[in-house]
Amino acid sequence: MTGYFAPSSMAVRALQQRAVGLTYGQRALVVGATHPVLFVGTAQHTSHRETPWKRLALTARLFESVFLGSREEADRALAFTAKRHAPVAGTTSVDGGPHAPTGTPYDAARGDLMWMTAAFTLDSVEVMHDLLVRRLTDGEREALLADFIDWACLFGMPRDAAPPSYAAFRTRMDERLVNGEAYLTDEARLVGGYLAGSAGYPLPGPAVIGSPALAAVVIGSLPAPVLNLYDIQPTAAQQATFQAVCRASRVAHTHLPRLARSPLLHGSSQRSYASVAATEKRWRRRGRVSMPGVSDAPAPY
């Protein structure tokens, strides 16, 4: 059964690369946390403070369902998201910097905020594809943008909320990192640090040995202004790991076609997302806190 996006579409081709599917989400959320209205608005309405990895895994599964699933699967994901987003509106209760002071209004159905959610996702899919698969061509970047605009519109975004071209999209994303808009609240800095791998990821079983390497890739992919906001300084070991993983991944995708098309590197990442949520559940059974200072602390809102 066909979905909303053809198998030949750029978004499907990118997200079926598991190197992208397993890394873009963490990066998108680390960078996205620098948007104080989006971060605070979401945090003020979350029902998953004690299980943040479950919420993030659910979000990734919903996103992938719309891009890679059948229309029936996509429609279920869209309906579920619309129901969850309906009550997400109000004003921020903490200071988000000069561009988002306390009392700034937000609404999950507001076009500009819907686009920024899509923009952070698109940005990270693009970056991770460049790093771990191969560099996209200019035409592929335009096609990826067009797919993400269609994707955001399926969630209800007005089409005119999106940028008119890839150049406009990239200019906007780069400018906001240096013009004072990007800002971290105290909780955003803490949450973003966990998402960047500061305490390891809830990977299942033997996969946990890859947690430091995954963190090195996420951190290594971040632009300098974001690293500065978080006061993250990659170690020499992390930088070496980042370069080695990226190089090996690109070689596998570009020079080993059979491996590149194998389930190890190609296809849906849904099972991996579910495994992260299941691992967090086991952590909690053993008394481990997912994100100390966040999931075991009163909400600051």
Judge whether 225 lies within some domain. yes
Instruction: State pTM to two decimals.
Output: 0.96
pLDDT in tens, 164-195: 999 999 999 999 999 999 999 999 999 999 99
Residue 5 located in a structural domain: no
DSSP 135: P
Tokens of 68: 């890679």
> Mean pLDDT over residues 100-113, rounded?
96
DSSP 139-199: HHHHHHHHHHHHHHHHTT--GGGS-SSHHHHHHHHHHTTTSS-----HHHHHHHHHHTTTT
pLDDT tens, 191-236? 999 999 998 999 988 888 899 999 999 999 999 999 999 999 999 9
Tell me whether residue 156 is in a domain. yes
Domain contains 83 = yes
Q: What is the domain count for the chain?
A: 1
In a domain, 29, yes or no: yes
Average pLDDT over residues 245-273: 92
Within-domain flag for 293: no
Q: Is residue 76 part of a domain?
A: yes
What was the pLDDT predicted at 111? Answer: 97
Looking at the predicted structure, is the pLDDT value of residue 298 above 90? Answer: no
pLDDT for the residue numbered 297: 85
CA dihedral 56→277→291→246, nearest 10 degrees, is -70
Question: In terms of residue numbers, what domain contains 278?
Answer: 10-200+211-285
CA atoms of 124 and 24, how far apart (whole Å): 5
